[in-house]
Amino acid sequence: MQVLKKHNFGAGPCILPGSVLQQAANAVVNWNDSGLSILEVSHRSPEFESVVLKTQLLIRELLNVPQSYEVLFLQGGASTQFSMVAMNFLQGRACGAYLDTGYFAQKAIKEAKLFGKVAIVASSEDKDYSYIPDHFETPSDAAFLHCTSNNTIEGTEMFSFPETSAPLICDMSSDIFSRTINVRDFDLIYAGAQKNMGPAGMTLVIAKNEFLNSVKHALPSMSDYRVYRDNQSMFNTPPVFSIYVSMLNLLWLREQGGVTGIQLKNHKKSELLYEEIDRNPLFYGTAMPAHRSKMNITFKMHDPSMEAEFLRFAAGHGVVGIKGYRTVGGFRASLYNALPLSSVEFLVQVMQHFEKEKTM
Ligand code: PLP
């Protein structure tokens, strides 16, 4: 079976290299010549338990996760983490501090308010979330400070993280595994799998054990990080396929030189596209240059009436997924790990071609 791919700049739900898709397809039909599909194998079987373990070990290796941190697999997407973080760490404590950097940060804030007091320490709403605020203070009694490392919709990314005495929690859904991080800077990291890890369905949580132990109150089992830790992420049926394909994808990432290797490639891809956006007289970037995301490149046209035409023109050349998010408009090209440099080079050519047509 041949895997056919367009130039897919979509923001999700899952962008994977062709080789991984091929292995995943084989495993759906006949996993490791077992005569069983990966979809029907028991999650309690030693074979699948070793998949879970291998995936956790790969994550530890690729992100250099210290032994004092747990690697957990949950469900419910990053959106469930918005409330789960608050249920675990906010209830009964003074306040949760939040950095408001965009759409998903706001969603996290909304959910947290259901469980306690929220202090918004800084917001970039004044300039349409086109930057990351860097001057703010965290209340001394904050239970944690929550931030979003990459703002998928607005196209901004944090290139340094706040130094704070409060435990730091970060939503890394759209840039985890795209660049090196120091896990020790954080007390809890969460990420929906479906950008750089694997198919939607699994949510990764990396948490300092000590931070998990600070929770003393009773919680519903499925909302209690300690339950996932104490049951090796198998308290209930885990998202088997998502974990398995994530394992395949992380093996692919290791072959790319790991996170350090992919970071160089991601840098090259984003530089190439930003250069064209800045050069081409038809387009302009929407995020402030110092805060431009390397994963989600947001841009618009000086003449908005041309945008629909450019979308059709790009689609006609096999470029898909570049329509901007509905609340923002314009374009968003997502350059996740699996997108090859050749696709970015192609998009740049398409933009140049369009420019020629319009300015001749
Ligand atoms: N946080 C960020 C930064 C995201 O990009 C997304 C989805 O794209 C979410 C949270 C929500 O994730 P989910 O759909 O897994 O709930």
pLDDT at 92: 84
Is any atom of ligand 1 closer than 6 Å to the C-beta of 192? yes
List the chain domain ranges.
Answer: 22-255, 258-359
**199 CB near ligand 1 (under 6 Å):** no
The answer, yes or no, to whether residue 2 has pLDDT greater than 50, is: no
Predicted pLDDT at 13: 85
Residue to mutate (ligand 1; options 110, 152, 176, 332; most atoms within 8 A of CB): 152
Would the annotation count 78 as a binding residue? yes
Name the phi and psi angles at 349, rounded to 5.
-60, -40
Nearest by Cα to 294 from 261, 276, 272: 272
> With 60 as the cut, is the pLDDT of residue 117 above it?
yes
Residue 1: pLDDT over 70: no
Give the pLDDT of residue 332.
98
CA 275 vs CA 270, 297, 344: distances in Å: 8, 11, 11
Closest-lying ligand 1 atom to the alpha carbon of residue 76: 16
> For ligand 1, what atom is nearest to the CA of residue 148?
3
298 is in an annotated binding site: no
pLDDT by residue (tens digit) across 209-227?
999 999 999 999 999 999 9
Average pLDDT on 127-135 reads 95
In contact, 330 and 153? CB cutoff 8 Å: no
pLDDT at residue 4 in the model? 53
Phi first, then psi: give them for residue 107, nearest 5 degrees: -65, -40
Q: What type of residue sits at position 287?
A: A
For domain 22-255, the question of CATH label 3.40.640.10 is answered with yes
Above pLDDT 90, what percent of the chain? 94
What atom in ligand 1 is closest to the CA of residue 151? 3
Instruction: Answer yes or no: same fold for 22-255 and 258-359.
Output: no
Q: Indicate whether residue 12 lines ligand 1 (CB < 6 A).
A: yes
Q: What is the mean pLDDT of the chain?
A: 96
In the structure, what pLDDT confidence band is assigned to residue 358 with cuts at 50, 70 and 90?
very high
Range from 59-68, 88-97, 171-180 carrying the lowest mean pLDDT: 88-97
111 lines ligand 1 (CB under 6 A): no
CA distance 244 to 234: 14
Residue environment code for 287-296, b if the CB has 16+ CB neighbours within 10 A, otherwise e:
beeebbbbbb
For 173-223, give the secondary structure using H, E and C.
Answer: CCCCCCCCCCHHHCCEEEEECCCCCCCCCCEEEEEEHHHHHCCCCCCCHHH
In this predicted structure, what is the pLDDT of residue 170?
Answer: 98
pLDDT of residue 26 exceeding 80: yes
| Model confidence band, residue 328 (pLDDT cutoffs 50, 70, 90) | confident
**Nearest atom of ligand 1 to the alpha carbon of 81:** 16
Which pLDDT band holds residue 360 (cuts at 50, 70, 90)?
A: confident
Q: Does residue 78 have its Cβ closer than 6 Å to ligand 1?
A: yes
SS3 call for 100: strand
40: tokens are 């029907």
Q: Does the annotation place 179 within a ligand binding site?
A: no
Tell me: is residue 236 an annotated ligand-binding position: yes
pLDDT of residue 133 exceeding 80: yes
Distance between CA atoms of residues 136 and 123, nearest Å: 9
The answer on pLDDT for 77 being more than 90 is yes
Segment 145-156 mean pLDDT:
98
Alpha helices in the chain (DSSP H): 18-29, 46-63, 77-89, 103-112, 209-213, 225-230, 240-255, 258-279, 307-316, 341-359
Q: Please report the pLDDT score of residue 25 as a whole number.
A: 97
In which order are the strands placed within the sheet that holds 188-192?
69-74, 203-208, 188-192, 168-171, 142-148, 95-100, 118-123
From atom 6 of ligand 1, which residue's Cα is the shortest distance away?
A: 173
CA 241 from centroid of its chain's CA atoms: 19
- Strands 95-100 and 142-148, sheet pairing: parallel
Share of the chain above pLDDT 70, in %: 99
pTM of the predicted protein model: 0.97
| Residue 3 predicted with pLDDT over 60 | no
Task: Round to whole Å and give the CA distance between 198 and 151.
Answer: 19
pLDDT tens-digit map of 165-189: 999 999 999 999 999 999 999 999 9
What's the pLDDT score for residue 248?
98
CB-CB neighbours of 179 under 10 Å: 21
Q: Are the C-beta atoms of residues 335 and 345 closer than 8 Å to each other?
A: no
Q: What ligand 1 atom has the least distance to the C-alpha of 193?
A: 15
What would the pLDDT profile of 286-321 be if each residue is shown by its tens digit? Answer: 999 999 999 999 999 999 999 999 999 999 999 999
Whether the per-residue pLDDT at 268 is higher than 50: the answer is: yes
Superfamily of domain 258-359: Aspartate Aminotransferase, domain 1 (3.90.1150.10)
- Contacts for 221 with CB less than 8 Å, ≥ 6 apart: 227, 235
**Mutation choice for ligand 1 from 74, 173, 202, CB with most ligand atoms inside 8 A:** 173
Q: Which residues pair with 292 in a beta bridge?
A: 156
Report phi then psi at 11, rounded to 5: -85, 5
Pocket mutation for ligand 1, best pick of 107, 110, 174, 205 (most atoms within 8 Å of C-beta): 174
